[in-house]
Amino acid sequence: MKTLILAAVLSLATTSAFATLRRWINGHTQLCNASLAVPLERQVVKWPVSVVASQDAQDRVESAFATTGVLRVAYPEEPALATLTVTRHAVTIEDRIGLLCAPSCFPDDLERLVRALADLGAARRVRELEGEHGVSAGEVDVEWGVVEAGHMQRKPDRGCMLGLRARVYVKVVSRAQRPLFAHVFNIDPRGTVKLLTQNLAAAGVPLHQERSELVLGRSDHGTPEGLTLEWPVDLPREHPRIEELVVIVTAMPASLRWLEHQGQLGARDGPDPIMTVLDGFLVRRLSWVLVPQDVAMDEGAFAAISSLFPVA
């Protein structure tokens, strides 16, 4: 008789998975080395959050997590999305860099902070889409940079440091023979996801032979102006943080606005929607280190800021 168990998969890697045992099915207590897993039910990933709190407070936190459908309390030693700490009547959330908001009242502000944690999960999910999924890199050119003195200056995909005075642009050019559709998202320093092309074309900006280029940060008259950079109001300014533009190019028109708040939609049964509703897509990530100061980042300022604000 074969050994059967029921298990819940908590995290996935390329060729392996971490799962917890729910129960043994037919009386056995040991699996053989050549065991095979068969999916029975698919659910949205629940992001682990470390919780430091008394038992009563943790019970309230777990209930708040349950309403999102995408958050859970992390296991001991498990890498977590962030840490939520409750001390008496105060609650904070922080990541590996530092606090993500000022200390808030517990339990009055718990729901707001849990929504912020769910946003972090949404940002993590968007980042994990990076790569070619039926649309090849050779079909699309993607670049970003800063606008200085009316000129667009291209920057590398990662590694730049910018101040709040900078203005940025992003350009998407189709080289494909087929129509493609461009969507550009911003992930701000606190992890909030926003679809920048929603008002231009809700189902994606069409790219085809007659109009193969999209440039965000250029006026209707063709003048480079750049997109302004902002620091979230309630995010502490103690450390620089990463800001990103995420370009998604799809092979068919599709509304992707749900990616902004997928962490707050609750659990959904079935496979990942983006994998099932699209014939193909490509995801490129463009990022920089944003310094919470209104400065121009020349070489002198870069050296000074780097010494004052070491990036974690």
pLDDT for 312 equals 40
**pLDDT higher than threshold 50 for residue 310:** no
**pLDDT higher than threshold 60 for residue 244:** yes
Residue 175's alpha-carbon distances to 13, 81, 162, 249, in angstroms, are: 33, 37, 30, 12
Q: What percent of the chain has pLDDT over 90?
A: 69
**pLDDT higher than threshold 80 for residue 39:** no
Of the pLDDT bands very low, low, confident and very high (cuts 50, 70, 90), residue 212 is: very high
The CATH code of the domain at 47-127 is 3.40.50.800
* Angle between helical axes of 55-68 and 110-128 (0-180°, round to 10): 50
pLDDT for 132 equals 95
What are the DSSP E strand ranges found in 53-136?
71-73, 83-87, 90-94, 104-105, 131-133
**pLDDT higher than threshold 70 for residue 162:** yes
Residue 269's alpha-carbon distances to 128, 191, 249, 265, 298, in angstroms, are: 20, 25, 26, 12, 50
pLDDT for 88 equals 87
pLDDT for 11 equals 59
CA–CA dist 130, 284 (Å, integer): 6
**Residue 82 CB contacts under 8 Å (≥ 6 apart), including other chains:** 49, 50, 93, 94, 95, 100, 117, 120
CA–CA dist 95, 83 (Å, integer): 6
- Is the dihedral angle over the CA atoms 195, 199, 200, 201 positive or is it negative? positive
DSSP element (H, E) containing 194: strand 193-195
pLDDT for 69 equals 87
Of the pLDDT bands very low, low, confident and very high (cuts 50, 70, 90), residue 195 is: very high
The CATH code of the domain at 130-308 is 2.70.50
CA–CA dist 129, 141 (Å, integer): 18
- Is pTM, for the whole model, over 0.75? yes
Task: List, by residue range, all CATH 3.40.50.800 domains of the chain.
Answer: 47-127
Task: List, by residue range, all CATH 2.70.50 domains of the chain.
Answer: 130-308
Of the pLDDT bands very low, low, confident and very high (cuts 50, 70, 90), residue 265 is: very low
Residue type at 266?
Answer: G
CA–CA dist 219, 196 (Å, integer): 15
